[in-house]
């Protein structure tokens, strides 16, 4: 799954990709079904993700809590994993300010 955060202008930026993390096989299947129902034709990011060849684009509506080891400036998250789902509007998930 590709991850993104919004900037102050409401543009969605790709910040990395994540695997199943702490999700069970059943939770991953359920997530896959939800994502299939939200398919869109165009990728939603303002920056083109490197891992996009086999991507299925979806509406950026789901929010997850992610654990990662590092977020180098100008690069994507290192070793991110899903910790769980959060009840937060996607537009509230914004890039950190320096």
pTM comes to 0.86
Over residues 1-8, the mean pLDDT reads 92
**In contact, 33 and 63? CB cutoff 8 Å:** no
Which of 5-19, 20-34, 43-57 has the highest mean predicted lDDT (pLDDT)? Answer: 5-19
Q: How confident is the model at residue 18 (pLDDT cuts 50, 70, 90)?
A: confident
85 pLDDT above the threshold of 90: no
* Distance, CA of 37 to CA of 93 (rounded, Å): 22
The yes/no answer on whether domain 2-92 falls in CATH 2.40.50.140 is yes
Provide the pairing of β-strand 12-17 with 64-67.
Answer: unpaired
- Please check the confidence at residue 94 and state whether its pLDDT lies above 90: yes
| Confidence bin at 52 (pLDDT 50/70/90) | confident
Please state the length of the chain.
98
Contact 14, 20 (CB under 8 A): no
């Amino acid at each position: 799954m590709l991850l993104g955060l919004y900037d102050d202008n409401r543009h969605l930026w790709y910040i990395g990709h994540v695997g199943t993390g702490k999700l069970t096989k059943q939770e991953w299947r359920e997530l896959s079904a939800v994502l299939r129902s939200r398919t869109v034709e165009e990728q939603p990011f303002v920056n083109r993700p490197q891992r996009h060849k086999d991507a299925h684009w979806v509406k950026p509506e789901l929010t997850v809590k992610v654990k990662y080891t590092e977020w180098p400036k100008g690069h994507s998250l290192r070793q991110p994993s899903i910790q769980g789902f959060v009840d937060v509007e996607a537009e509230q998930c914004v890039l950190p300010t320096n």
